[in-house]
Amino acid sequence: MQQVNLGLVGGGTVGGGVLAALERNGPLLSSRLGLSLQVTRLAVRQLNKTRSLPLPADRITDDWRKVVEDPDVHIVAELMGGTTTARDVVRTALRLKKPVVTANKALLSAHGEELFAEAARSGANLYYEASVAGGIPIIKVLRESLAGNRVLQIAGIVNGTCNYILTRMKLEGAAFEDVLQDAQRLGYAEAEPSLDIDGHDAAHKTGILASLAHGFWVQPQQIHTEGIRHITTLDIQFAAQLGYTIKLLGIVKSGVPTPGGAKRKSKKNASPCPVQVSVYPALIPNSHVLASVNHAFNAIAVRGDVVGDTLFYGRGAGADATASSVLSDLADAALDLKHGSHRRVPPFVAHEGNGCVASLDDLVSRYYVRLSVLDRPGVFARIAGVLAKAGIGISSIIQPEGHAGEAVPVILMIHDAPNAAIRRALGAVAKLTAVKAPPVMIRVETLE
């Protein structure tokens, strides 16, 4: 049987998972492909670390060039993370006309345009299934399975660490910091966990999904991004009382409603910006299927104009789940090599839209607002007055019984309002003397 040699750069959570999965299922994969996949080289950062990898020590190096430039290595898997050396690894391999598999969404987000251009120039394919949603084969779904659809909406729980934290805060009332440490211990979190909890990792993934769905490269700075640091157990409990669950969502919507409707123009090119690409925590109704996606699981709801609603669910982080996606790419890469299928993985060919992403200020949605206010007569009237002046309607109010004269939480559910208008109005509410802390505002997504 023909042997395809693999060179791995990175032998940590994901690289170790790939080696273990190949050890377990290599013969099965070989019989399915008619090709034998063998890891012949591995690069790590520190050679003297104790590791239990199924690879002889003389195959391991701390110089990634020895892997990438080894003429006997046919396919390179970049599983090290980061955006500097990893960029060199991928560029060097592509320039050598070697197919590259990567799990690195931060790299694609920062340098995707350049790397896909390099892949197109060299004729070598760049595969990235593991870069979004761990074990869920969502890249293949958008690139191949739904190719005949216009994608109308994507709503995804795409960060396992945040979902794990929010789930344990809801189910156990656990403290944010304790749960984050568990997520790190379990191998879900990025080396720099602020990438997870501040929403950047979800933004990297949402940008990749949006680019696939709409055919233009979405730049990270075009994606409005909020994380989950400001979400408290109090908000999670109030949301539950109202019939909602708080989830960090990556959202891509086309034809989004804006205050000026279809006539609104972007200043830059005077044409409509109908695509929303954002990441933020949102209240979603408990009846929506995404509300019951818990722990490190991810799920992505995709609505196509032909297929209708679809849902993809699975483990979004961790060694095994991610290794499964890397193996899928390695299998594709090996078959593409065997059959000489150059450029089988198309870069982001412009096929829709004008590269313009809607500003969040223009977007209209419902909101959950938590205020900390002094429990004394006339306070509600003043808050309602400020909101009414801004044309913002309250759909319901919860105020737990408090102690007269003390600060108590008040929850307002707000009717559809433009983002800029609600932010301005809450700025004015925050200045009222009875309001004792900055208002907390979380969007409500019904995902209809």
127 lies in the site for ligand HSE, by CB under 6 A: no
Interacting residues with ligand HSE between 303 and 362 (CB under 6 A): 316-317
Instruction: By CB under 6 A, name the one of 4, 53, 103, 291 that touches ligand NAP.
Output: 103
129 near ligand HSE, judged by CB under 6 A: no
| Stretch 129-158 residues interacting with ligand NAP (CB under 6 A) | 130, 134
> What CA–CA distance (Å, rounded) separates 138 from 130?
9
Among the listed ranges 4-12, 85-93, 186-194, 213-221, the one in contact with ligand HSE (CB under 6 A) is 186-194
Contact between 417 and ligand NAP (CB under 6 A)? no
Return the one option of ligand NAP, ligand HSE, none that residue 196 interacts with (CB less than 5 to 8 A, by type): ligand HSE
CA distances from 170 to 76, 178, 213, 245, 313 (A): 41, 14, 32, 9, 20
Task: Give the one residue of 201, 329, 332, 336 binding ligand HSE; rule: CB under 6 A.
Answer: 201
128 binds ligand NAP (CB under 6 A): no
Instruction: Please state, in angstroms and rounded to a whole number, the distance separating the CA atoms of residues 339 and 331.
Output: 12
Of 32, 49, 343, 389, the one binding ligand NAP (CB under 6 A) is: 49
Q: At 314, which helix (H) or strand (E)?
A: strand 308-315
* Only segment of 67-75, 136-144, 157-165, 355-363 that touches ligand HSE (CB under 6 A): 157-165
**Residue from 98, 105, 205, 253 carrying the catalytic annotation:** 205
| Least distance CB 148 / ligand HSE (angstroms) | 28
The residues, ordered by sequence, that sit 6+ positions from 207 with a Cβ below 8 Å of its Cβ are 109, 218, 219, 220, 222, 223, 277
Q: Please tell me the number of Cα atoms within 13 Å of 199 on its side-chain side.
A: 26
CB 393 to ligand HSE: min, Å: 37
Closest CB to ligand HSE among 190 and 329?
190
| Beta carbons within 10 angstroms of residue 60's beta carbon | 18
Cβ-contact 248, 281 below 8 angstroms: yes
Interaction partner, residue 44 (ligand HSE, ligand NAP, none; CB < 5-8 Å by kind) = ligand NAP
Contact 253, 445 (CB under 8 A): no
Considering only residues 29, 80, 136, 300, which one is a binding residue for ligand NAP as defined by CB under 6 A? 80
Taking a C-beta distance cutoff of 8 angstroms, is the pair 363, 443 a contact?
A: no
Task: Provide the token pair at 346.
Answer: 């198309």
DSSP state of 80: S
Q: State in angstroms the smallest separation of the CB of 330 from ligand HSE.
A: 18
Which among 139-147, 187-195, 215-223, 358-366 is the span making contact with ligand HSE, rule CB under 6 A? Answer: 187-195
Interface residue with ligand HSE, options 64, 116, 127, 188 (CB under 6 A): 188
Query: In this structure, what is the dihedral angle of CA atoms 192, 194, 197, 200, given to the nearest 10 degrees?
Result: -90
**Burial (CB count within 10 angstroms: exposed 0-12, middle 13-18, buried 19+), residue 345:** buried
205 is an active site residue:
yes
Nearer Cβ to ligand HSE (314/316) = 316
Give the count of beta carbons closer than 10 Å to the beta carbon of residue 384.
Answer: 16
Instruction: Give which of 30, 226, 204 is closest to 131, Cα–Cα.
Output: 204
Residue 228 touches ligand HSE, criterion: CB under 6 A: no
Q: Is the dihedral of CA 104, 105, 110, 113 positive or negative?
A: positive
Among 102, 104, 159, 324, binds ligand HSE (CB under 6 A): 159
If the CB atoms of residues 16 and 353 are measured against ligand HSE, the closer one turns out to be 16
Give the C-alpha separation, 194 to 92, whole Å.
29
Would you please indicate which residues are annotated as catalytic (active-site) residues?
Answer: 205
Binding site for ligand NAP (CB under 6 A): 9-15, 43-46, 49, 64, 79-81, 85, 103-104, 130, 134, 187-188, 190-191, 317-318, 322
Q: Could you list the residues that contact ligand HSE (CB under 6 A)?
A: 134, 159-161, 188-190, 196, 201, 316-317
